Amino acid sequence: MTINVRIPTPLRKLTHDKDIVQAAGTTVQGIIDNLEKQYPGLKERLCDEQGELRRFVNIYLNDEDIRFAKGKQTPVKDGDEISIIPAIAGGH
Amino acid sequence: MREKHGFLIGLKCRECGRHYPKEALHVCEFCFGPLEVEYDYVAIGNVLTRERIEARAPTMWRYRELLPVAGEPTIGFQVGFTPLVRADRLAKQLGLREVWVKNDTVNYPTLSFKDRVVSVALSRALELGFDIVACASTGNLANSVAANAASGGLKSYVFIPADLETGKVLGSLVYGTNVIGIRGTYDEVNRLCSEIAGKYGWGFVNVNLRPYYAEGSKAMGFEIAEQLGWRLPDHVVVPMAGGSLITKIHKSFKEFVELGLVDKHPAHIHGAQAEGCSPIVNAFKAGTDIIKPVSKPNTIVKSLAIGNPADGFYSIQTMKQTGGCAENPNDDEVVAGIRLLAETEGIFAETAGGVTVAAAQRLVAAGRIKRDESLVLCITGHGLKTREAIDGKCGEPRVIKPSLREFAALVENENV
């Protein structure tokens, strides 16, 4: 199945300036792998060398941080939407 | 001076290690990790000695080689070197032998530790050519940016949650800054400031100047070590909001050890938050380093009410690496902590200080800090700034006529 993925400004160079792209998969992991096929170079921006989600990259599935679901194994279904949002370094 | 020193090399991503020039940058464009200042420690080690530091003026700038400005500091040269108070009466109450209060309630000029970070950030902002500076703040930072910008002739904007304590709002307005109250939480203020920083190109001390700003907190740790007689304590309790201070205290100790200025010593660094907003403590206690943001902070401790702490992960690493713990006292304990510090040591701390004292009490009760071990409490802001928190909780004055007879009656009554 194919769902919409929102791309943040700093990554849009890789998606040819598209802010929303479509990707196929049944888990967040599958979606990331499919994004990499379509837009080479995107995966290394989201995941480290071990394949783990980078610490300052947040992925929201329908507004829920996947770290508090099943991480990259979180299942994805029709009509879901994923947002990739860099953590805001700031504060105090 | 720049050529002469050259201790500030550049910026480096804490996560992926990519290098960046020493400009107004704070996020790695590759992995979105935070950038941190890089120093030439070999060059610093060649010049920095205890004697050299001791010969300098009693301000935080006596450690200037370890603070990220290229030349001489231009704003806030008088900041820091606040008293480290031997707190024997408090120690007795806590059931400990050696307690010290690092008293930043009397920091210059705005009575909180934020003057340290702002002095660095604005000195660096001038070097980078900014003429407008700004911040997102829970109050203390706004006060400090407003005051130090005024003294340096910079225009400033400070962004705060609209419901802050009146002392903290007035404590910014008086300096003629632009105070923008946002109807929302601190985290919403912060998010807005990231957008504003991108659009207007101002020097936001805790956004695009953050790598420089954050280093200013190290001075509190340097001073603790020097004022203890060039040694590290067994324990330090540090309040956490965004979590930057605790990581920088740790860094300051590590730098002093690496430079041979103090002996290596296991200093346990403990973090404290208020129960009504304790995302870092909650994660630590749950044994994870993934911080679950608090969307609706609910505590009188507004200066620590950051639901999504930028340095939360690194704070947890600091506590783990140093064998520290995390505690989150409730608002009643916080008020009691403020009063205990005031009544035993004559130091009037803001709510964050109450958190620190109350957390220390819990740590002692839990056996984490033992009777014969030394403890330093980081007291970071003055109590007059958060009067509301204790209004009506310290008794009331007894009002009498200007009559000796009335006073005698009052005394007699109390002696019953």
Query: pLDDT digits over B75-111, tens only?
Result: 999 999 999 999 999 999 999 999 999 999 999 999 9
CB neighbourhood size of B85 (10 A):
18
Q: Are residues B249 and B340 in the same domain?
A: yes
Kindly determine whether residue B26 and residue A89, on different chains, have CB atoms separated by under 8 Å.
yes
- Which of A10, A55, A88 is opposite residue B191, by nearest beta carbon? A88
Q: Are residues B139 and B245 in the same domain?
A: no
Mean pLDDT for A48-52 is: 93
Give the span between the Cα atoms of B271 and A4, in whole angstroms: 41
Q: Can you tell me whether residue B141 is helix, strand or coil?
A: helix
Give the span between the Cα atoms of B333 and B274, in whole angstroms: 9
Is residue B399 situated within a structural domain?
Answer: no
Final residue belonging to a domain, choices B193, B213, B233 = B213
How far, in Å, are B17, B275, B316, B401 from residue B302 at the CA level?
34, 12, 21, 39
Confidence of residue B397 (pLDDT cuts 50, 70, 90): very high
Q: Are residues B103 and B58 in the same domain?
A: no
Q: Are residues B91 and B8 in the same domain?
A: no
Q: Are residues B104 and B70 in the same domain?
A: no
Give the span between the Cα atoms of B298 and B264, in whole angstroms: 40
Kindly determine whether residue B34 and residue A56, on different chains, have CB atoms separated by under 8 Å.
yes
Report ipTM for this prediction: 0.90
What does pTM read for this prediction? 0.95
pLDDT tops 90 at residue A9: no
Give the span between the Cα atoms of B251 and B218, in whole angstroms: 7
How far, in Å, are B118, B356, B385 from residue B81 at the CA level?
15, 20, 21
Q: Are residues B293 and B192 in the same domain?
A: no
Give the span between the Cα atoms of B8 and B79, in whole angstroms: 21
Q: How far is CA B214 from its chain centroid?
A: 10
Q: Are residues B6 and B89 in the same domain?
A: no
Looking at residue B195, its pLDDT comes to: 87
Higher pLDDT, A64 or B332: B332
Q: Are residues B223 and B319 in the same domain?
A: yes
Q: Can you tell me whether residue B80 is helix, strand or coil?
A: coil
Kindly determine whether residue A88 and residue B190, on different chains, have CB atoms separated by under 8 Å.
yes
- C-alpha distance from A57 to closest chain B C-alpha (Å): 7
Looking at residue A74, its pLDDT comes to: 96
Confidence of residue B169 (pLDDT cuts 50, 70, 90): very high
How far, in Å, are B98, B240, B252, B297, B362 from residue B369 at the CA level?
11, 19, 22, 29, 9
Which CATH class for the A2-86 domain?
A: alpha beta
Q: Are residues B50 and B185 in the same domain?
A: yes
Q: Are residues B103 and B121 in the same domain?
A: no
CA torsion sign, A47 to A50 to A51 to A57?
negative
The count of domains in chain B is 2
Yes or no: say if A12 and A18 are a contact pair by the CB < 8 Å rule. Answer: yes
Q: Are residues B161 and B229 in the same domain?
A: no
Looking at residue A88, its pLDDT comes to: 64
Is residue B408 situated within a structural domain?
Answer: no
Kindly determine whether residue B32 and residue A89, on different chains, have CB atoms separated by under 8 Å.
yes
What is the full DSSP assignment across A21-65?
Answer: EEEE-SBHHHHHHHHHHHSTTHHHHHB-TTSPBPTTEEEEETTEE
What residues contact B249, with CB distance under 8 A and at least 6 apart? B217, B218, B220, B221, B224, B236, B238, B269, B318, B378
Yes or no: say if B328 and B282 are a contact pair by the CB < 8 Å rule. Answer: yes
Q: Are residues B280 and B340 in the same domain?
A: yes
Q: Residue A90: its chain B contacts at CB < 8 A?
A: 26, 136, 190, 193-194, 204, 206-207, 210, 242, 310
Q: Which domain holds residue B62?
A: 2-77+114-213
- Which of B31, B193, B290 is opposite residue A90, by nearest beta carbon? B193
Mean pLDDT for B244-252 is: 98
What is the full DSSP assignment across B207-254?
Answer: TTTHHHHHHTTHHHHHHHHHHTTS---SEEEEE-SSSHHHHHHHHHHH
CATH number at residue B252: 3.40.50.1100
Q: Residue A91: its chain B contacts at CB < 8 A?
A: 136, 186, 190, 206, 241-242, 244, 306, 308-311
